[in-house]
Amino acid sequence: MPVRFEWEEEKNLSNQAKHGLAFIEAIQLFQRSQDYLEIFDSAHSDTEDRFIAIGEIDRGIAVVVYTERAEDLIRIIGARFATERERARYRSHMDRYR
């Protein structure tokens, strides 16, 4: 079953203004393959389980914060380009599994 994506459009617009990354572009991280680093976000999971994914999109390596609303539905909460430290963590993770 293909995965679907949803988000609040107002949040998408503010995210684009702040980080220069639209959610429609950020979902490339999930669509390319399963080659991304997933981290459970325990600091922000009081009311719902949140995850942080670090992986490749067309313009570089991105960080996407999301929650799973159903088995086939991902809700995007935020997205930005990865910092140098996050890029290094992603590369280190991927090197172990290639």
4-22 tens-digit pLDDT:
999 999 999 999 999 999 9
Average the pLDDT over 30-56 and give the result: 89
Each domain of the chain, given as residue ranges in start order, spans: 4-97
Task: For residue 41, give every residue at least 6 positions away whose Cβ sits within 8 Å of its Cβ, in sequence order, or none.
Answer: 50, 51, 52, 65
Element (H, E) at 6: strand 4-6
Instruction: Say what the pLDDT of residue 92 is.
Output: 94
Q: What's the CATH class of domain 4-97?
A: alpha beta
Note the pTM of the prediction, 2 decimals.
0.91
